[in-house]
Structure 1
């Protein structure tokens, strides 16, 4: 039988320190590279197929239930509004994602801050296609101002510098960024996670859920 994961609403809470453990097929060195700048290497361990992340101080934890072939208790994750993804400390929120167009997915970001911000680096930290073992990509990040490729992102690859940098205008202005697969096609069953580094050094992590 086919099994389709259905994401529920994301909720978050603040804890004083904490430890998270979940299964992984990646090595400890790979996770240290992926979490570079977020957790020190000594707080990242992989043993017996499980990843353990330890953190000190006050941290915000965001998570979501996943239903199998049905919406989980608490309701289905929407495709609009600022609550569909954790945004970290930034004023930039993911507001919506558009239907896939063969190789392209567009994501609309809203800068709720008073000032413009530039996205200077990006990486694609996760991609899921529940019906295929072949992941499309790498993905070109298209600058909405020029239509040029600002960066090409490999899934689980390192941060790439955007050239040109992508400006997100402030004061509740929406900016649509296109992610274009250079190989294969995207599906309305897919989702991926992209991380931005802004000009002031802050980061934002965005869950891009490709809707039907």
Structure 2
């Protein structure tokens, strides 16, 4: 099978995990903006529910929780991704990268695909253990304790591997070595993660009175 045939058969939702650079290269070359904004919206929903699970102590009403997950979180993710892409572009240039802003932005969005994979898991836990997202009071029977542990282990593993994927995605966009992509991701993110976490917590607290 020649290279062109392989690219035609590439599925970025599966290839992104182990063949990140090839997947990023393929979506940058073949996909238009609506595709990336659809990915961003789905990843934003996932990020919204993850934020809720990390702020369950607030015991949000159902309406506020859904508003945050389906509307506010995707908008926040769009803003954060657009802004962080500026920083990744700037720091990547320092690392001798050569990407255009649109390619960095698209690579950042494509790197969110692992979060989209979490949506079926989130739906499963929303149905059988909604207190993970809505309440501080967990159920203490062995079955639910196992569910809570499984949820957070999967979430942690996906988050850690997402760092690898984002690093390779930025490296591909900038056409540089993966370790340079990792530094391009790490330095701006270390600062902005602190800021965004603070903003999200404030917003969720505000919604608690929705």
TM-score of the pair, normalised by structure 1: 0.26
Which protein is richer in helix relative to its size? 2
Greater percentage in strand? 1
TM-score of the superposed pair, with normalisation by structure 2:
0.26
Instruction: Please identify the structure whose Cα radius of gyration is greater.
Output: 2
